C-alpha cells in the first residue's frame, strides 16, 4: 500500500464518511462552561497562531507516529496506577469498558495542514509558553518539507493540524475488530481500505 505519512485517530461513534471538524466544546470542563483545562488553553493559543481551531494528526511513516495518535490505548487494561503504603494499586478496565478507536491514514499532506513539534508541545499544554518555547513549537523558518524530513529523522516528533479532514479520503483505515470493520462498512467506508489492526501497549508490570 506504500507509505502513510499522516494519521488521525478518533472514536468509532464519531466516524462517518465525509468531512469532520474539531469541536472545541469537548475540552471545556463541566463546570458551567466557565472553567477551561490546559488542553483548551493550548488549542486556543495554537488557533491564534495558525488561524483555525486545530484538528491533530501525527506525522511519519513509522510506528512512533501511530502511537502518537493514542490508537493503541484502546487495548490498555490498566487505567490508573498508584502506590500507597508500599502497595501497588491499579484500576483496571472491565469487559465492555474498552473503547473502539479508528485510525485514518493518508499518503499526502491534507489541505491547509500546518505543523508543530510534538516534543515541545508540552510547553503549550503547561503554558503559557515563553517566546523561545513558542519558536521551538512552531519553528517558523521550517517549510512543510523540513517538517517531513524531521519526522523521518526523529520519528514521533512532528504533529500536523488542519481545520477539517475528509475521512473518506483516507487511504488506510485501522480498527480494533471485525465487528468494528463491519460497522464502518455499514456506514459507507470502503471495505478495501479497512484493516483490523492491533498495536501492543506499554505494560505497567515493571512499574
For the chain, report the end-to-end CA distance as a whole number of angstroms. Answer: 38
Q: Whole-model pTM?
A: 0.89
Query: Distance between CA 35 and CA 24 in Å, rounded?
Result: 13
Give, for all 207 residues of the chain, the pLDDT tens digit: 679 999 999 999 999 999 999 988 877 755 454 445 678 899 999 999 999 999 999 999 999 999 999 999 999 887 777 787 778 777 877 877 789 999 999 999 999 999 999 999 999 999 799 999 999 999 999 999 999 999 999 999 999 999 999 999 999 999 999 999 999 999 999 999 999 999 998 654 433
Read off the DSSP letter of residue 148: H
CB of 23 closer than 8 Å to CB of 163: no
Amino acid at each position: 500500500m506504500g507509505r502513510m505519512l499522516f494519521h488521525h485517530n478518533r472514536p468509532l461513534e464519531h466516524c462517518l464518511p465525509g468531512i469532520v471538524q474539531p469541536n472545541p466544546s469537548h475540552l471545556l470542563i463541566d463546570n458551567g462552561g466557565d472553567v477551561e483545562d490546559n488542553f483548551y488553553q493550548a488549542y486556543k493559543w495554537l488557533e491564534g497562531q495558525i488561524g483555525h481551531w486545530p484538528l491533530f494528526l501525527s506525522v511519519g511513516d513509522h510506528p512512533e507516529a501511530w502511537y502518537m495518535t493514542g490508537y493503541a490505548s484502546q487495548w490498555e487494561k490498566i487505567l490508573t496506577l498508584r502506590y500507597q503504603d508500599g502497595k501497588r494499586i491499579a484500576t483496571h478496565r472491565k469487559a465492555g469498558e474498552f473503547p473502539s478507536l479508528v485510525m485514518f491514514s493518508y499518503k499526502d499532506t491534507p489541505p491547509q495542514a500546518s505543523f508543530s513539534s510534538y516534543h515541545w508541545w508540552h510547553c503549550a499544554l503547561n503554558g503559557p509558553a515563553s517566546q523561545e518555547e513558542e519558536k521551538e513549537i512552531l519553528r517558523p523558518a521550517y517549510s512543510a518539507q523540513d517538517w517531513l524530513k524531521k519526522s523521518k529523522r526523529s520519528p514521533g516528533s512532528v504533529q500536523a493540524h488542519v481545520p477539517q479532514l475528509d475521512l473518506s479520503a483516507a487511504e488506510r483505515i485501522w480498527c480494533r475488530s471485525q465487528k468494528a470493520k463491519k460497522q464502518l462498512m455499514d456506514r459507507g467506508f470502503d471495505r478495501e481500505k479497512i484493516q483490523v489492526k492491533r498495536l501492543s501497549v506499554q505494560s505497567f508490570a515493571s512499574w
